[in-house]
A and B are shown apart, each in its own frame.
Chain A
Amino acid sequence: MRQLMMGRSAGNCQILMLLAVLLGGMVSQPALASDGVIVEAVDENPPDVSEPVVSFESIAAELGDASFSAKMELTDALVKARYPGSRRVLAALLDGQLYADKATGRILIVSSGETGSIYHDAVSGSLMVDYQGDSKKIMTNNALRKKLRGDIARFDLGSDETAIRLGAVKQLRDDIDPVVAGLLREQQSLETDEQVLDEIRITLALFDLNSDTAEQRLAAVTELDGEIGNDVFNRLTSLLENESDKDVIKAAQTTIQRIESRRSFYAGLETAFFGLSFGSVLVLAAIGLAITFGVMGVINMAHGELIMLGAYTTFVIQQLMPNHIGLSIILSIPAAFIVSGLVGIGIERGVVRFLYGRPLETLLATFGVSLILQQLVRTIFSPLNRSVQTPEMMSGLLRVNEIFAITYNRLYILIFTLIVFAGLWLILNKTSLGLKVRAVSQNRQMARAMGVRTARVDALTFGLGSGVAGIAGVALSQLTNVGPNLGQAYIIDSFMVVVFGGVGNLWGTLVGGMTLGVATKFMEPHVGAVMAKIMMLVFIILFIQRRKQGLFPQKGRAASGA
């Protein structure tokens, strides 16, 4: 018994040494763009057309060869004159659908249909059925695209759909001038929707902060009370720099203070979320190890590669069904479990079974297995990373308010981790397999005497832990590069979490992983990513010195391991 207990703490020491060793392996003169050449418009219109259409066409025709600065002026002209086709041309230019015919200079809008490209004449909007010519795309740059969004928003103020009007007001907040303010006031009197009216009110208040009269400014500041957005904060801060009126200063300061306190609250919330999501990744990666190492006392250095196999399974399934990305992720979960589980059982039956009670040899042997698995993947797939696509529903943000937003992929993975944890807990505590696993881990000889087939239970436990590693790989494929070295990036973190949380304890893994994740994320903004990782490792080393069994030590007699 004493020998076994020594073996366990010696095992911990090996791991710390390994961690320490593996830690070592971690960590002119400008010329302006040429001016555009103005192309003379070909007057294709019949002579009795009224003036506006001819000028619209000539402006549109110049877009083909204009420089970026000339394009800014031309689009301004289109907005000012408000031709019936202005918005159409501006929107096409923004979306990269505006083309110029190479031969005639005629401007076209090209969209893709089922049988190929569909061509419309930009000026008249009519469909060109038999267009055969060669056209080139009219290019935009960042500044032009930003301006176009504002231009289109001006047109969209009068749209019939509420969502479009709302988007337009939000877009216009970025550059309010007297003309836009006038448009907004007009819209205010016509508007019926609550949300749009609110947006207009705030935007006009921001504009009125520039007013010459102190009363108007005070009214504007009072109007903005309760708003927490960045632009409100910035405008009020810059207002304070030049303000002289006492009432306005006082009102602005109160609002700013309120915004700042709410901001720091939400910033803390956001960091907590980042910490939980990072922690959930750690937990997912480590929980399989908690079972194999914790329950069986087996140091599995190939655990990272089992995660990697799960990620590659996701890639393969995505290749098999490229049109159903969402479904492929869902199917990958059982598939990865089976693939990694089978490989895990293979490792157990083929290698680990012969080395029970000898942690050093198990470590070496499984390290060799990890190298074999890595090279196998390199040979079958390629040494380069493979790209795994994220389904639509998992990309993007869930916006809680102006300051606080949660990314969907991290949110889903957090929920997924909790589900996996709950599932494992149920298996280990409520099923007969779980009972046998716990029995074997607490006292192997007694369990055998009671009729439990320990060899089979060992294999199944290893398979369970490996299968969960495969599932972790599916989640990780959404967050990071899928390559042969994926496992190496997570093996150290997994061991860290398991040792910190207490060997053999699922709750320990959960709490340990989440704690480490949150702590790292709170430290990161202050000391940087590299230092945060170092501090986390140093903290664990010190913690283990004081409390060798980790956060949640195992109760009862020591596990057999023999």
Chain B
Amino acid sequence: MSIRSRMARFAAACLAAGSIAGMTAAQAADTIKVGVLHSLSGTMAISETTLKDTVLMMIEEQNKKGGLLGKKLEAVVVDPASNWPLFAEKSRELLSVHKVDVVFGCWTSVSRKSVLPVFEELNGLLFYPVQYEGEESSRNVFYTGAAPNQQAIPAVDYLMNEVGVTRWVLAGTDYVYPRTTNKILEAYLKSKGVKDADIMINYTPFGHSDWQGIVSEIKKFGSAGKKTAVVSTINGDANVPFYKELGNQKISAEDIPVVAFSVGEEELSGIDTAPLVGHLAAWNYFQSVDVPVNNEFIAKWKKFIKNPKRVTNDPMEATVIGFNLWAKAVEKAKTTKVDTIIDTLPGLETPNLTGGTAKMLPNHHLTKPVLIGEIRDDGQVDVVWQTESEVPGDAWTDFLPESAVIEADWVKLKCGNYNTKTRKCSGQNY
């Protein structure tokens, strides 16, 4: 074959390849990609799988309304498998390979901390729907779950004031969220006059299954004649053997109530709830809240997931709120560009599922109501106390001296880590 004909063939091949690539690129530009970064296997799958399904449901609903900006939404689902370094890899894949416009993901704080550098480096947009320990406010993250002042502190207040608890066990899984939350709670309790001897702190690894010794210690600690409660930041499926052991050792909620921050309807649906009746959970939403907007949502969810036995929970509500706020911002700004959306979001409002409103604040947190509930024997939670109106989320707690002086404000100060004493904005501490 002559060189000329070979070159001609080569050129033709290139053109063909180029046009196909161009066509697929044009096709891709017709959808808005939404990334979903939740563990679908491993120790956290028990909690996170349902959030993936929630995002898929919201996308389907939005597409029925015609999508956003005339384009359909497309979900890109990855499974980081409860493996924290894998979360970072998968988030990089979502942002640089799939080029998603927004990511809904993460549950454990360690997974969020793992992906934080990636989102800030690649200027991505993450909606984080789970209650957490605060002490963070990133430009690229919007925190639709509770900060400690919207969950942990009110729960401790309820136990102290309404239940009369004077002795405290802080039991958590060994990673950043329980460690930081317990630090805050310990400082808070001491500021209320609780003595060191009346606080017992205990950490266990993820997936810990032998609770005999620890539950026995809790029992002993709680039989000193003072009303004792356990504040549990135990995460994932370690909760199952923990509550089972509580039941086996006959610790009832009336003797030593356990208030959990990471146990909701979804975790309860997988276990035998008989020994748990009366134990407490603190969230900003419960499925049992009887208002029309919630009942509609529950019906819609059960229809989508094709299973009348599936439940709804607080992180699902947070995902819904996050999605609705993002969609509102996109429609208002008429673009999905991350920088524009980040500037559009603060100040936007959307209804929450308990009959109130969620407003996005300049520190990238929401206003949320606080509900304390007791677990029923059918796995639902009855509300026994709630705040009158929504509490604004405080990213930097007022109860630790080093955090009390720090403020997060991405609207006026353009800083998530602004020290009001030294008037300096320090960067993100990863």
With both beta carbons as reference points, the residue of chain B lying nearest to A410 in the complex is identified as: B212
**Does A146 lie at the interface of the complex (its beta carbon under 8 Å from any beta carbon of B)?**
yes
Q: Which of B347-395 contact A (CB under 8 A)?
A: 370, 374, 377, 382, 384-388, 391
**When the two chains form their complex, are residues B205 and A26 in contact, meaning their CB atoms are under 8 A apart?**
yes
- The dominant DSSP class at the B interface is mixed
CB contacts under 8 Å to A, within B22-56, are 40-43, 45-46, 49
Q: Which residues of A contact B250 (CB under 8 A)?
A: 396-397, 405
Is the pair A530, B174 in contact by a Cβ cutoff of 8 Å? yes
B249, A407: Cβ atoms closer than 8 Å: yes
Check: A132 CB closer than 8 A to any chain B CB: no
Report yes or no: A142 in contact with B253, Cβ–Cβ below 8 A. yes
Q: Per a CB cutoff under 8 Å, which of A68, A230, A235, A521 touches B213?
A: A521
Please, which residue of chain B has its CB at the minimum distance from the CB of A383?
B41
A530 and B225 contact, CB distance less than 8 A: no
Give a binary string over A391-435; 1 marks a CB under 8 Å from any B CB, 0 the rest.
Answer: 000011100000001011110000000000000000000000000
Query: Contact at B391–A142, with CB atoms within 8 Å?
Result: no
**Chain B residues whose CB sits within 8 angstroms of the CB of A277 once the complex forms:** 212
Q: Does B59 contact A (CB under 8 A)?
A: no
Shortest Cβ distance from B63 into chain A, in angstroms?
27
Identify B205's interface contact among A31, A383, A396, A529, CB under 8 A: A529
A96, A274, A378, most chain B CB atoms within 10 A: A274
CB–CB B217/A30 < 8 A: no
User: Is B213's CB under 8 angstroms from A271's CB?
Assistant: yes
Least CB distance from B337 to A in Å reads 35
Cα A86 to Cα B384 with chains together (Å):
25
**Contact status of A27 and B216, CB under 8 A, knowing A146-B254, A234-B224:** no
- Interface stretch (choices B95-103, B153-161, B181-189): B153-161
Given A145-B278, A530-B205, also A525-B213 (CB < 8 A):
yes
Q: Do B237 and A481 have beta carbons less than 8 Å apart?
A: yes
A396→B209 contact, CB < 8 A: no
Contact between A385 and B46 (Cβ–Cβ < 8 Å)? Answer: yes
Which B residues, 104 to 126, have Cβ-Cβ distances below 8 Å to chain A?
none
In the bound complex, do residue B214 and residue A142 qualify as a contact, i.e. CB atoms below 8 Å apart?
Answer: no
Is A125 at the interface (CB under 8 A from chain B)?
Answer: no
Flag whether A141 is at the interface (Cβ < 8 A). yes
Given contacts A139-B382, A397-B248, A521-B213, contact A485 B272 (CB under 8 A): no
Task: Kindly list chain A residues whose C-beta atoms are within 8 Å of the C-beta of B248.
Answer: 395-397, 407-409
Determine the distance from Cα of A281 to Cα of B210 in the docked complex, in whole angstroms. Answer: 10
B203 touches A530 (CB 8 A): yes
Known: A142-B374, A277-B212, A529-B205. A483 touches B237 (CB 8 A): yes
Residues of A within 8 A of B42 (CB): 383, 485
Q: Does B271 contact A (CB under 8 A)?
A: yes
Residues of A within 8 A of B46 (CB): 384-385
B204 at the interface (CB under 8 A from A): yes
Q: How many chain B residues have a CB neighbour from A under 8 Å? A: 61
The one of B161, B223, B241, B257 that contacts A30, using a Cβ cutoff of 8 Å = B161
Q: Which of A139, A387, A521 lies in contact with B271, CB distance below 8 A?
A: A387
> How close is A112's CB to chain B, nearest CB, in angstroms?
13
The interface residues of chain A lying within 8 Å CB-to-CB of B224 are 234
- Categorize the interface residue count of chain A: 35 or more
Bound: A397/B43 CA distance, A:
29
Interface bits B125-169 vs A (CB < 8 Å: 1, else 0): 000000000000000000000000110011001100111000000
Give, as a whole number of angstroms, the nearest-CB distance from B273 to chain A.
11
Task: Kindly state whether residue A533 has any CB partner on chain B within 8 Å.
Answer: yes
Least CB distance from A142 to B in Å reads: 5
Q: Are A278 and B254 in contact (CB under 8 A)?
A: no
Give the nearest-CB partner of B248 in chain A.
Answer: A407
Please report which residues of chain A, range 221-235, place their CB below 8 angstroms from some CB of chain B when the two chains form the complex: 230-231, 234-235
A33 at the interface (CB under 8 A from B): yes
**When each residue 272-298 of chain A gets 1 if its CB lies under 8 Å from chain B and 0 otherwise, what string results?**
001001100100000000000000000
Within the assembled complex, what's the spacing in Å between the Cα atoms of A1 and B245? 51
A450 within 8 A of B: no
| Most interface-central of B153, B214, B216, B223 (chain A CB within 10 A) | B216
Is B158 a contact partner of A529 (Cβ separation < 8 A)? no
A270: interface (CB < 8 Å): yes
Closest CB of chain A to B241's CB: distance in Å?
6
Contact B247 A395 (CB under 8 A): yes
Among B174, B203, B209, residue most surrounded by chain A Cβ atoms (within 10 Å): B209
B324 CB-CB contact with A under 8 Å: no
Contact across chains for B204 and A389 when beta carbons are under 8 A apart: no
| A479 CB within 8 Å of chain B | yes
A524 touches B370 (CB 8 A): no
Decide if B292 is an interface residue (CB 8 Å cutoff): no
B271-313 vs A, Cβ < 8 Å mask (1 yes, 0 no): 1100000100000000000000000000000000000000000
The verdict on A481 contacting B157 (CB below 8 Å), with A385-B46, A407-B249 known, is: no
Complex CA distance for A30 and B150, rounded to whole angstroms? 11
Q: Mark A359-389, 1 if CB is under 8 A from B, else 0.
A: 0000000000000000000100001110101
Apart from A481-B237, A485-B43: 13 A-B pairs, beta carbons within 8 A = A28-B391, A31-B386, A33-B386, A141-B384, A142-B257, A145-B254, A274-B212, A384-B49, A385-B270, A387-B272, A389-B272, A390-B244, A521-B212
Binding site for B on A (CB under 8 A): 26-31, 33, 68, 96, 139, 141-143, 145-146, 149, 230-231, 234-235, 237-238, 267, 270-271, 274, 277-278, 281, 378, 383-385, 387, 389-390, 395-397, 405, 407-410, 479-481, 483-485, 489, 521, 524-525, 528-530, 533
Top 4 A-B pairs ranked by shortest CB distance?
A: A234-B225, A31-B388, A383-B41, A480-B209
A-B pairs with beta carbons under 8 Å apart, 14 shown: A28-B149, A31-B387, A142-B253, A142-B374, A278-B210, A278-B212, A378-B41, A384-B270, A407-B248, A479-B210, A485-B207, A525-B213, A528-B203, A533-B205
